[in-house]
Amino acid sequence: MISSAKEASCRQCRQAGEKLFLKGARCRTPKCAVEQRTQTPGQHGKKGGAKRLSEYGRQLREKQKVKLMYGVIEEQFRRFFDLSVRQKGATGENLLSLLERRLDNVVFRLKMAISRKQARQMIVHGLVTVNAKRVKSPSYVMAIGDVVTFTLGTLENKEFVENVIDKRINMGIKVPEWLELQKKERKGIVLRLPVRADVGAPIEEHLIVEHYSK
């Protein structure tokens, strides 16, 4: 039986009607609740999560889905949106690029953590460094050339390195092309800014832009 916290994550994915990868490796297995159950949460859930929503409802659901996926609260999400508006290019794509460059997401994408939630815990506990400096803010935005790794104390803990870090890094999951993972050194480098194609997830970012533009 999975814990109540895990059940909550599963309900969020089922409500969205798709995998949000809130629980990392489990989401890639047949144990994933989205694959096991075709109904949305609740006694009267509809198959496939299909609901007739208004345009506003679609916009709100898409925003909530992305917030859950990246693990950000409304205040943080709105701040990232406002930043994306001031940048050149399409606002929706700018927003996703900023979210991808969050430190917790970068740690997750580099396979240094099995989920974004776990990545946030590692960062808050001071296990992660950026350019040789400890960073405890999961929302820290990475730039081109930034190097992320673990603190010296963390890397000197051989049992933790072998049983936790190396097991994650050696998972058979592809690292996005905008990042480079150096397994032996247990570090990652930001090669370029992520573009829309790097996100991969089925997100209709234009709905989020429309939501905030009202």
Between 167 and 16, residue with greater pLDDT: 167
Burial tier of 146 (Cβ tally within 10 Å: 0-12, 13-18, 19+): middle
For the stretch 55-94, pLDDT in tens is 999 999 999 999 999 999 999 999 999 999 999 999 999 9
- Helix 55-70, helix 205-212: angle, nearest 10: 110
Q: Where do the DSSP E strands lie in the chain?
A: 128-130, 133-134, 147-150, 179-182, 187-190
Q: Which residues make Cβ contacts (< 8 Å) with residue 159, sequence separation at least 6?
A: none
Predicted local confidence at residue 4, as pLDDT? 56
Predicted local confidence at residue 214, as pLDDT? 81
Of the candidate ranges 22-31, 71-80, 98-107, the one whose mean pLDDT is the lowest: 22-31
Average pLDDT over residues 119-139: 98
**Contact predicate 66/208, CB 8 Å:** yes
Can you tell me the distance from the alpha carbon of 145 to that of 157, in angstroms, rounded to the nearest whole number?
Answer: 27
Give pTM, 2 decimals: 0.80
Query: Looking at residue 140, what DSSP letter applies?
Result: P
